[in-house]
Chains A and B, each alone.
Chain A
Amino acid sequence: MNPKEPWFKIREGLNVRRVTFLTACSFLLPLALWCLVSYVPFIWHPDVRLEVSADRADVSTVYIAGDHVSKEFFGTFQEAIRNGNKTILQDRANGNETGGLMARRDNQKKLRQLAGLAIANGWLRSNQREDDSAIFEIWKGIATGALIPKAPPLNAENLPIVRQNWQMLSSVSQSFDVRKLPEQPLLNLIPQGQPSNPSYLPAPHEVLLTGWHNFTNGDPLGQLSLFDRLLISIRIVWGGFLLSCLVGVPIGVLAGIYSVFSKLLEPFTDFFRYMPAPAFSTLLVAAFGADDAPKISLVFIGTFFQMVLVISKTTRQLDHSLLEAAQTLGARPRQLFSHVVIPGILPDLYNDLRILLGWSWTWLVIAELIGVKTGLTEFIETQGRWRNFDAVFPVIILIGVIGFFTDQFLAWFRGVLFPYTRTSRTKSKIQKKPGPPPRMRQATASTEAPVTELTPT
């Protein structure tokens, strides 16, 4: 633990504190970069995030508070609304009103233009977007000066519009009543907003908040909750993986032991491995229907063929001298199999399966897209299609976190299951200690020590 120990030494390990520090940095640096881009206003920020939005006449594309628009489009958008207001005022002055039910509905919508701002200011709860009576009171409050929007404020252009509209509203009724809304069109609020990054790079806190909200409140669409989706996804990955283990491990081991199986099975497996699993998707849907079965079988196809090859290779790498030693001691073929081969390859087999499980996870998204979309992928797909990336990021990160911690757990558990093998922890010690490597002492059971290293004894 010498503090002057150099950081850079060719092919040398680091002490535990430095390792911990670097591990933390490896996560914190990307996070810091993300924060930098998100929170320093003069870095990038090509868009405007709307706080107040309005509908343009005769345009069916509706922007709502929270949407991102590019800075240049924001100008034309504002201009379009200003022109719309001008037309409304002209019509009002000329006395040619387009009244009736439609105008009332439009006015109702115009009142709701303040809802987003009111929620941000804490005057409304987020489920009150359509609570017209409450929104009506907010118009009253702002127009009379009883309420002053601070975070975010209402810009100078909009305050007179609120007052003007309120004049018209209050002349009909002091409280909200759908039937007592004016039949002449109210003025639109002019869109306002803050500089922001494009919607595909939400700020960390937005991701965190949306993720928290989506996980705790259940799905906003009243469909499956994210936890249900997570379980479905895990079922598909593990279903495909376990099925693949059930068939692939025995075949792999057999192919590793007997050349007959190896030569019979491996060439075809090797050939099949090159066919991309997603290429079979439509075929699987036709064969197994549109629900879970084709998805699980896609994970299976994506994992199985790799598994057979990897495991047969692992089995073949079993130290030959162990077999020879056992045979010298009079072991029969069956004993060789059960007492030497199986215990000998288990630790490596375990590691292979760990890696292959990660492999299975990579098929998840493609698998869930075929047939009826399900699980986390359906959520990612639909939310992504609607550019709600603040909802997508938490799910992607969640998949990563699950994979990472499963792997860490399995790596730790390997030490519990196979205490006689080196764990990753002892690896760094090996590199530090001079003299004979400690694995020599465990050589009889070790499977990781290649043959060449054993010969000196």
Chain B
Amino acid sequence: MNRLHALFFSALRRVTLLCVIPLTVSVALSEPLKVAYSDWPGWVVFDIAIKKDWFKQEGLDVQFLWYDYAPSMDAFSTGKVDAVGMTNGDALVTGSGGKPSVAIIITDFSSGNDMIVAKPGIESVKDLKGKKIGVEVGLVDHLLLLNALESNGMKETDVTLVNTPTNETPQVLGAGAVDVICAWQPNSGQAMKTVQGSKPIYTSAQAPGLIYDLIYVSRENLEKRRGDWAKFVKVWYRIIDYMQDPANLDEALKILAARDNVKPEEYEPFLKGTHLLTLQEALQRWKKADGLSSIYGSTKVVDDFNVKYGVYKQHVDFQGYLDPSLTEEYSRSVGAKAASK
């Protein structure tokens, strides 16, 4: 009987041990923050912090995963990553698809890098009537296209859409399968190099504030690891400070161009088309207001747009997608430091 007892308890001990070990291990080795990013110039700048080890210096373990844009959002909605760079419109689309998120950083707004590029012979948006347009349906540049059509008194039915992954638009335009493409840099630039003489007939510079780019975090993860995301925000503004200094331009271009496989001189114009927001500018954009100069106003416009064009059926509670608190906290901490100096 005694032996049986001993056997039972030793077995019990082993079982509990087996249960406890993985538990303790998972606590001890905290997972890195996983961030998916893609070729939009406003997010490629993360490579600067990666190359310079700024996240490690902040004591933060971040794993960046490079994707094409649409797959990056897939990775986010299937829970493979904790955060992703998206436009404010696409975040709503992803959210209505079952994975709501919350933005902690406005990285930039598009000021020309999103383009509608047309073959030679098509001079304006009005000429698009009856043309074949290569665009990734339901994503940001579809929105740009609809906006362009609407502001010229046209409808989506006036054109034929050809659903094309954005990074394949240069090949598709080059092959002559479509007359026009909608894409962002570096893809739009590549398209214009592939089809010589093609040019942008409408860009996001004509609708500044329609497309904001942000870092969206999964809501559970933000709740669980708020402290880590605060450090993440801190590193982001270190990148912004670095980018503001013209002395760093050549070094920055080298890093950014390498990520996109272009030459630094080719990359330089992209910086104009993506307006990176300084901390002060970002705080302005975070203020609740109507119109495109506020992220709230812009997101409302996009939400209306998406419902109107049937991208999704029901209005989204977009306020829940926006959380300026981490940026504001960072701003206060910087202000406090500046005051104490």
Classify the secondary structure of B's interface with A: helix
Pick from A64, A73, A76, A101: contact of B266, CB below 8 A.
Answer: A64
Q: Is the CB of B196 within 8 A of A70?
A: yes
Comparing A207-215, A303-311, A379-387, the segment that makes contact with chain B is: A379-387
Provide the bound-state CA to CA distance between A382 and B38, in Å.
Answer: 13
Q: Is the CB of A60 within 8 A of B185?
A: yes
Q: Is the interface of A mostly helix, strand, loop or mixed?
A: loop
Measured in the bound complex, the distance between the Cα atoms of B272 and A59 in whole Å is: 11
Q: Is B258 an interface residue (CB 8 A)?
A: yes
Interface status of B193 (Cβ within 8 A of chain A): yes
Q: A109-B268, A222-B258, A290-B80 in contact; A69/B196 too (CB < 8 A)?
A: yes
B189 contacts A by Cβ under 8 Å: yes
What 1/0 mask marks residues of chain A from 71 to 112 whose CB sits below 8 Å from any chain B CB?
001001100000000000000000000000100010001001
Contacts of B192 in A (CB 8 A): 61
Which residues of B lie under 8 Å from residue A69 when comparing CB positions?
196
Quick one: which of A112, A386, A388 contacts B265, CB cutoff 8 A?
A: A112
In the complex, the answer to whether B190 meets A385 with C-beta atoms within 8 Å is yes
On whether the beta carbons of A61 and B80 are closer than 8 Å, the reply is no
Whether, in the assembled complex, A372 has its beta carbon less than 8 Å from a beta carbon of chain B, the answer is yes
The answer to whether A286 touches B197 (Cβ under 8 A) is no
In the complex, A76→B198 CA distance in Å? 12
Whether, in the assembled complex, A289 has its beta carbon less than 8 Å from a beta carbon of chain B, the answer is yes
B75 within 8 A of A: yes
**Separation in Å of the A84 CB from the closest CB of chain B?**
15
Report B260-314 residues with CB < 8 Å from chain A CB: 261-266, 268-270, 272-273
B80 CB → nearest A CB, Å: 6
Chain B residues within 8 Å of A55, by CB: 265
**A383–B265 touching, CB < 8 Å:** no
Task: Report the interface size for chain A: residues with CB under 8 A from the other chain.
Answer: 32
**Residue A63 CB within 8 A of the other chain:** yes
Q: Are B265 and A64 in contact (CB under 8 A)?
A: yes
The CA-CA distance from A220 to B262 in the complex, in Å, is 11
With a cutoff of 8 Å between Cβ atoms, the chain B residues found around residue A109 in the complex are 265, 268
CA distance A129 to B257 in the complex (A): 14
In the complex formed, the residue of B with least CB distance to A382 is: B261
Interface presence of A329 (CB below 8 A)? no
Name the B residues within 8 Å of A59 (CB-CB): 199
Least CB separation from B187: chain A residue: A385
The answer, yes or no, to whether A352 is at the interface (CB within 8 Å) is no
Residue B65 CB within 8 A of the other chain? yes
Complex contacts, B78 vs chain A, CB 8 Å? 286
Report if B170 contacts A (CB, 8 A).
yes
In A264-295, which residues have CB < 8 Å from any B CB? 286, 289-290
Which chain B positions have C-beta within 8 A of A382? 261
B200 CB contacts on chain A under 8 angstroms: 60
Closest CB of chain B to A184's CB: distance in Å? 19
Contact residues in A for B156 (Cβ distance below 8 Å): none
Q: Is there contact, CB below 8 Å, between B250 and A130? A: yes
Let me know if A62 is at the binding interface, CB within 8 A: yes
Residues of A within 8 A of B167 (CB): 385
Cβ contact of B272, chosen from A60, A73, A220, cutoff 8 A: A60
Question: Which residues, 371 to 426 on A, are CB-close (under 8 Å) to B?
Answer: 372, 382-383, 385-388
- Cβ distance A293 to chain B, nearest Cβ, rounded Å: 13
List A contacts of B259 (CB < 8 A).
221
How close is A51's CB to chain B, nearest CB, in angstroms? 15
Q: Which residues between 146 and 175 of chain B lie within 8 Å of chain A, taking CB atoms?
A: 167, 170-171
Q: Find out whether the CB atom of A73 lies under 8 angstroms from the CB atom of B250.
A: no
B189 touches A372 (CB 8 A): no
Point out the residue from A62, A73, A221 that lies within 8 Å of B261, measured CB to CB. A221
Say yes or no for A67: interface residue by CB 8 A criterion. Answer: yes
Question: Closest A-chain residue to B81, C-beta based?
Answer: A290
CB atoms of B249 and A105 under 8 A apart:
yes
**Which partner residue on chain B sits nearest A379 by CB separation?**
B261
**What is the bound-complex CA distance between A109 and B265, given in angstroms?**
8
26 A–B contacts, CB within 8 A, in A order:
A60-B185, A60-B189, A60-B272, A61-B189, A61-B193, A62-B268, A62-B269, A64-B265, A64-B266, A69-B196, A76-B197, A77-B196, A101-B246, A112-B265, A130-B254, A130-B264, A289-B80, A290-B80, A372-B66, A372-B67, A382-B261, A385-B167, A385-B170, A385-B261, A386-B190, A386-B262
Binding site for B on A (CB under 8 A): 55, 59-64, 67, 69-70, 73, 76-77, 101, 105, 109, 112, 129-130, 220-222, 286, 289-290, 372, 382-383, 385-388
Shortest Cβ-Cβ A-B pairs, 9 listed: A73-B196, A60-B269, A61-B192, A221-B258, A62-B266, A386-B261, A382-B261, A64-B263, A130-B250
Given A60-B185, A61-B269, A385-B170, 18 more pairs with CB closer than 8 A: A60-B270, A62-B268, A64-B263, A64-B266, A67-B193, A69-B196, A130-B250, A130-B264, A220-B258, A221-B258, A221-B259, A221-B261, A286-B78, A290-B65, A372-B65, A385-B167, A385-B171, A385-B190
